[in-house]
Amino acid sequence: MKARVFSFLRVIISISLIGLLFYIRRDSLSQIIGAIAELDILIVISTIFLFFLTIFIMAYRFKTILWAKGLLLRFSEVLNLTFIGYFFNNFLPTAVGGDVVKAYYAYKKTDDKLNSFISVFMDRFMGFLSLFILAGASLIFSYRYVKSKPLITSLTIAVLFTLVLTLTLFFNRRLARLFLPLLPLVRRLNLKEKIERVYNNINAFRENRGLIAQTLLLSIAAQLVGFFIIYILIKGMGSFISLKMVLLLMPLVYIISMLPSINGLGIRESAIYFLFGPYVGYKTAFALSLVWLFMLFLVSVAGGVAYLFGGHYRNRVISA
């Protein structure tokens, strides 16, 4: 029951925010659609190609982590799971998220439940870590451009604080053990032993520095390709923004998109609109958010095709 209520609230949040953006720009919708329609076909094709390239990079990162845990899936299988994860995240607003689906089908293929779920967690963690690092580095190089923007500066500092705390807990097992009992949910549900078991398996990754370096570099590469897509699209719409600012703002967009919604729908578009608007104009920012949403839609459709024709629907994921 709680899961259904939470799913319903996520849908309401996403629809409300998207509706609000369209309402705000109601007088300039024709201009916004015109700006999108006037994008050069070469820019459209190249950005779609680059967007799918990021999926391939992320799939290779996931495969690298799976192999490190002894789960020897082929790259084609991992790529298939990555696309399916996008499909579940974007088209099915249920309690069963894309990460759960990826872990479930990895488990079905390997018969190793714990390591399948840990691998998915580490895959997601390395993606988050790359965002935090890029946001922090970009703030250092772009501070003189944003020091008059307290919201952006505050958000980035909060991200850096989260990065430091996360890394401390990840690399300091003793501190993590002291921290866990302080969490109300852990204490209430008596989950300390189970979480410690999972944490010990995750923490074992820190001994493999080569793996951490490789997956972190792959994560940063995927993020940079994505940010370059944003830069190309903005230029294609006749506006300009420095690449440094894109490197600063997009990590914030991704992090804000983690708030409850249908895979960031509505929240992501609002973040792009309000963060990029002061630099490229709010019409361009809204158009940019819609193009980005369209690209996510394409990837999700590809994931739906992979799900249907791969026979995965025969093994339905059951949410606990």
Alpha helices, DSSP H, located in the chain:
2-24, 29-37, 41-68, 75-91, 98-110, 113-146, 150-171, 173-179, 184-189, 192-203, 209-236, 243-256, 267-280, 282-309
Computed over every residue of the chain, the mean pLDDT equals: 81
Q: Is residue 320 classed exposed, middle or buried when 0-12, 13-18 and 19+ CB atoms within 10 A define those classes? A: exposed
- Specify the pTM: 0.83
The 10s digit of each residue's pLDDT in 187-243 is: 555 555 556 666 666 667 777 788 889 999 999 999 999 999 999 999 999 898 988
Average pLDDT of the residues in 67-82: 89
Q: Sorting pLDDT into bands at 50, 70 and 90, what band is 107? A: confident
**What is the residue type of 156?**
T
Q: Sorting pLDDT into bands at 50, 70 and 90, what band is 317? A: very low
The 10s digit of each residue's pLDDT in 239-249 is: 989 888 898 88
Average pLDDT of the residues in 134-157: 72
Tell me what pLDDT residue 225 has.
96
CB 29 within 8 A of CB 282: no
Average pLDDT of the residues in 97-106: 83
The 10s digit of each residue's pLDDT in 50-71 is: 999 999 999 999 999 999 888 8
Q: Does residue 279 carry a pLDDT above 50?
A: yes
The structure tokens listed for 203 are 């923490």
- 247/271 Cα distance (integer angstroms): 14
Compare 249 and 164 and report the one with higher pLDDT: 249
Q: Does residue 176 carry a pLDDT above 90?
A: no
The structure tokens listed for 260 are 């409850």
* Per-range mean pLDDT, top range of 134-148, 167-181, 226-240: 226-240
Compare 185 and 235 and report the one with higher pLDDT: 235
- 290/288 Cα distance (integer angstroms): 5
Tell me what pLDDT residue 2 has.
62
Residue 57 phi/psi, 5-degree rounding, is: -65, -45
Compare 106 and 151 and report the one with higher pLDDT: 106
- 88/90 Cα distance (integer angstroms): 6
The 10s digit of each residue's pLDDT in 31-44 is: 888 888 889 999 99
Tell me what pLDDT residue 78 has.
92
- 121/204 Cα distance (integer angstroms): 13
